[in-house]
Amino acid sequence: MEISNPFPLGKRITELREQYGYTINSLSYLTGVSQSYLRDLELGNKNNPSVEIIYIICERLGISLRDFFDLNPSDEMVEDPLSLKIHQLNKDQRETLLAFLNTVK
């Protein structure tokens, strides 16, 4: 008897990667996870990545683990171009933006 996975892990990675404008190649580069492994995850050929891999993907996409597992994000967040652009920034770019925003009164 095969137990189906209730959470579409690979599909979720694909959705988020595309939502934030990354190719498998660019996400691989950002995360240090091989392209072939990411592709296998997205295709459902690998179903049990470590929490560390999911965490690294989330960190590089600028989302929390909670956001990753939330299959019903608010429409406002998904459609807000500023939020989407911020999520595309890497950690250093987000810190620079935050420092700048803190100077605005």
In which band, very low, low, confident or very high, does the pLDDT at 1 lie, cut at 50, 70 and 90? very low
Helix, strand or coil for residue 28? helix
Query: Do the domain assignments include residue 1?
Result: no
- Structurally, the chain folds into a number of domains equal to 1
Question: Which of 4-8, 15-19, 63-67 is predicted least confidently?
Answer: 4-8
CATH number at residue 28: 1.10.260.40
Q: How many residues does the chain have?
A: 105
Query: Do the domain assignments include residue 3?
Result: no
Question: How far, in Å, CA of 59 to CA of 104, rounded?
Answer: 26
* pLDDT score for 6: 54
pLDDT digits (tens, 9 = 90+) for 39-93: 999 998 887 888 899 999 999 888 888 888 876 655 445 566 777 777 777 778 8
Q: What is the pTM of this model?
A: 0.63
Domain that holds residue 70: 9-103
* pLDDT score for 7: 65
